[in-house]
């Protein structure tokens, strides 16, 4: 399956890193945060790390700027509609994981999306029960 657009739910340490790698790879990426303030902070963090890439000669300023144009942030899950892949990277709390994987399961964020979970807890039987059947599990 060709992945042209990725959604990331949770732009903390892991989610921001995933979003950064996606936009660097040329993939349009939508990051969902719990508030505009956190979304803005995540964008700043991603901008900072892309800037480090420029300083180290791993990308040009133009490539950094192009990568940033591929990143949008939102507080609405509905804005992830049209994503080919959605990665859940919310806080490592079972209730939050359950809630977000339930929402991902019921809406699928649009008809085409695959839903992937990023969780240390996915290796535990309890946490696995919080994940919908079609979720790809990672550790």
Ligand X SMILES: NC(=O)c1ccc[n+]([C@@H]2O[C@H](COP(=O)([O-])OP(=O)(O)OC[C@H]3O[C@@H](n4cnc5c(N)ncnc54)[C@H](O)[C@@H]3O)[C@@H](O)[C@H]2O)c1
Q: Give whichever of 8 and 81 is closer to ligand X, judged by the CB atom.
A: 8
Is 62 within 8 Å of 90 (Cβ atoms)? no
Q: Which is nearer to ligand X, 38 or 66 (CB)?
A: 38
Buried b (16+ CB within 10 A) or exposed e, 9-27: bbbbebbbbbbbebbbeeb
Strand partners, 31: 8, 73
- Told to check if 100 binds ligand X by CB under 6 A, we report yes
Measured from the CB of residue 134, what is the shortest distance to ligand X in angstroms? Answer: 18
The answer to whether 32 touches 81, Cβ cutoff 8 Å, is: no
Size of interface with ligand X, in residues (CB under 6 A): 18
With binding defined as CB under 6 A, does residue 87 bind ligand X?
A: no
**73 within 8 A of 39, measured Cβ to Cβ:** yes
Region from 7-15, 55-63, 76-84, 103-111 binding ligand X, contact rule CB under 6 A? 7-15
Binding site for ligand X (CB under 6 A): 10-15, 33-34, 38, 89-92, 96, 100, 118-120
């Amino acid at each position: 399956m060709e992945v042209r657009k990725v959604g990331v739910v949770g732009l903390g340490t892991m989610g921001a890193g995933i979003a950064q790698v996606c936009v660097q790879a040329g993939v349009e990426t939508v990051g969902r945060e719990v508030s505009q303030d956190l979304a803005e902070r995540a964008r700043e963090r991603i901008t900072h790390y892309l800037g480090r890439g420029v300083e180290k000669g791993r990308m040009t300023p133009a490539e950094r700027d192009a990568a940033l144009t591929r990143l949008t942030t939102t507080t609405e899950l509905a804005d992830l509609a049209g994503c080919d892949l959605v990665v859940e990277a919310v806080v490592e709390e079972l209730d939050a994981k359950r809630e977000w994987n339930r929402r991902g399961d019921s809406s699928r964020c649009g008809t085409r999306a695959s839903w992937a979970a990023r969780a240390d807890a996915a290796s535990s039987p309890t946490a696995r029960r919080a994940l919908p059947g079609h979720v790809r599990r990672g550790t």
